Structure 1
Amino acid sequence: MAPTPPSRHNARAGAIAWLWRRLARWPLARLWRFARVAGTLVYRLSARERDITRRNLADVYPADSTAERQTLTRQSLRHSAATMLELGHAWMAPPERVNAGILAVHGRDKLDDARRDGRGVIVLAPHFGNWEVLNFWLSSHFPFTAMYEPPKMAGLDPVIRHGRERQGAALVPTNARGVAALLKALKRHEAIGILPDQEPSWGSGVFAPFFNRDAYTATLLPKLVARTQARVVTGVALRVPGRGFEIHFLDADERVYSADDVTSATGVNACVEAAIALDPAQYQWEYKRYRKVVEEQQGLPNYRDFRLY
């Protein structure tokens, strides 16, 4: 298949950016009404998103009935649609409007106490609710650093970068230089953000249970903790449909502080599970969290991506 010409990529990026700017003017109640329609269309028309969500929910909630999981599938796709539609709000709406949509902040003391004790803070921010609103709040209140990988559509890079940096966040690359920048930020007793549920490349993770099934999980966290003694919290922006968001900071599972990679990764996944428990419909279940698997062949482990999933 021939690659897409750069001019077509630029046209698509321009159209998407224009749409985000238009949607940034909409009130959150209108965006939620639109998301309910868009999520229903995704459920009906996108077999890939629907089937992956169903498969994941069957794995993590096996005791639920088929009807219960079907309802949760619909709800989850509506929330995922809302997150996409709210990107303009988080990145482009006037800051006072974004702040007005943050209805409450729970657990801020966990961050303040750590910094008063001379410790940096690692915020585990799973794909739950609207993580871009969480980034907005964090970078508005603390020196905040997060890793950033430019999008495949290069024309969107300046739009996304500006949106995430506009309140002062520092974005660093997803490589050794970026890890060094995270360490420096923590040693300055600042806050950093990590995506705990993004599947890493082979060699950068270990298998650890996530809802009682092994998921390939990154091992960056114990390295950062060991070198900085940082405090770990889980952070999410829980959507209050049609009204705004509530920020929650939750204590991390104590296993995240272990020097053992598998134990720490198990704690990280437990943190994600605790966040999901706030409202399972707001997690991005269409992500292929269990794609990487290990099979035994001739008595030896064979690592591979499960492409059919």
Structure 2
Amino acid sequence: MDAGESRSSAFMARAIATLWRSLAGRRLTTLWRLARLVGPLVERLSRRERQVTRTNLAEVYPSRQPAERHRLCRQSLTHSTATMLELGFAWMGAPERVEAAILAVHGRELLDEARAEGRGVIVLAPHFGNWEVLNFWLSGHFPFTAMYEPPKLAPLDPIIRQGRERRGAHLVPTNARGVAALLKALKRCEAVGILPDQEPDWGSGVFAPFHERLAYTATLLPKLVARTEARVVTGVALRLPGKGYAVHFLAADERVYSADEITSATGVNASVEAAIALDPAQYQWEYKRFRKTPQEAEGRPDFKRFRLY
């Protein structure tokens, strides 16, 4: 990166951080109203987000009428906009305000029971609702470790890291060293978070059904379970528009405990589907979940290879 690009990145990072700080003290009602104003503009003006969201919704809900899917597209982009506007609140807002905004916690007993049994807990945290609020709650109530990949805009890294770590979360890199840290945390009967709905690199996943469509899915989970006998749950922070959040922990599909990678990945995707069913509009459909295809995989030497270290 040359000096001009570095200055540009630093300026953009300062602008974004200033926006987050200015929104951190706003009421959630205000942020939701703003999201409802900006969300339709995102749908209208952001061609990429609109097209990917509509394509994904057509793939996973083929039986729904086009008008219904278009409404869901707008609702989804509004919720995604709300999540972006709420980042300052989740990362920089007064901790007591953020805690007070979590109006209910459902399924906490799943985590408590696992730890009472001497088992760690793997929390599958899909891109649903406000996942930063979920991180806030988890790191404030349990020893919590999560993988973290620095943002493309490097000057934002210390700001995001501070926001995610301020309640005690331990962030580890998305590499072999990070995997080793997850294993150690689970063996200490702690909680760890992994993203179940991000497409992994070739060689680090298998194809498994997601809403009856094959999606390339990471195979890290069965290896963590096999080595630690951890319990797996799905965790989300459901947005209650303008009011706050309800944290939900759901027992994962039993197939996640299979030693067979495809069976386990199928269970992971089924677990994500169960979370999405709470409110499909709150899932981040603008991510290209079906980018990799089985046809593209054929002939790749690394297709079936995955090493934990």
* TM value normalised by structure 2: 0.95
Q: Which residue of 2 aligns with 1:225?
A: 225
Whether the aligned pair in 2 keeps the contact of 1:295 and 1:303 (CA below 8 Å) is no
Alignment-mate amino acid for residue 77 of structure 1: L
Whether the aligned pair in 2 keeps the contact of 1:292 and 1:303 (CA below 8 Å) is no
Distance (Å, rounded) in 2 between the aligned partners of 1:3 and 1:71: 44
Q: Which residue of 2 aligns with 1:21?
A: 21
Q: Which of structure 1's runs of 4+ aligned residues deviate more than 4 A? A: 300-304
SS in 2 for 1:249: strand
SS in 2 for 1:5: helix
Q: Which residue of 1 aligns with 2:124?
A: 124
Distance (Å, rounded) in 2 between the aligned partners of 1:220 and 1:302: 20
Q: Which residue of 2 aligns with 1:30?
A: 30
Count of aligned residue pairs for this structure pair: 302
Q: Which residue of 2 aligns with 1:57?
A: 57
Q: Which residue of 2 aligns with 1:86?
A: 86
SS in 1 for 2:32: helix
Distance (Å, rounded) in 2 between the aligned partners of 1:288 and 1:3: 33
Q: Which residue of 2 aligns with 1:307?
A: none
1:67 and 2:67 correspond? yes
Alignment-mate amino acid for residue 121 of structure 2: V
Q: Which residue of 2 aligns with 1:137?
A: 137
Q: Which residue of 2 aligns with 1:155?
A: 155
Offset, 1:38: 1.0
Whether the aligned pair in 2 keeps the contact of 1:105 and 1:247 (CA below 8 Å) is yes
* TM value normalised by structure 1: 0.95
Distance (Å, rounded) in 1 between the aligned partners of 2:233 and 2:282: 19
Distance (Å, rounded) in 2 between the aligned partners of 1:301 and 1:69: 36
SS in 1 for 2:238: strand
Taking structure 1 as reference, are residues 27 and 303 closer, same or farther at Cα in structure 2, changes over 3 Å only?
farther
In the alignment, structure 1 segments of 5+ residues that lack a partner are 305-309
1:189 and 2:189 correspond? yes
Alignment-mate amino acid for residue 98 of structure 1: V
Distance (Å, rounded) in 2 between the aligned partners of 1:177 and 1:71: 43
Alignment-mate amino acid for residue 160 of structure 2: I
Which residues in structure 2 correspond to 1:3-22 (within 5 Å)?
A: 5-22=5-22
Taking structure 1 as reference, are residues 52 and 221 closer, same or farther at Cα in structure 2, changes over 3 Å only?
same
% of aligned pairs identical? Answer: 73
Whether the aligned pair in 2 keeps the contact of 1:151 and 1:157 (CA below 8 Å) is yes
Whether the aligned pair in 2 keeps the contact of 1:108 and 1:249 (CA below 8 Å) is yes
Offset, 1:294: 2.1
Cα RMSD of the aligned pairs, angstroms, is: 1.6
Whether the aligned pair in 2 keeps the contact of 1:294 and 1:301 (CA below 8 Å) is no
Distance (Å, rounded) in 2 between the aligned partners of 1:159 and 1:15: 12
Offset, 1:302: 5.8
In the alignment, structure 2 segments of 5+ residues that lack a partner are 303-309
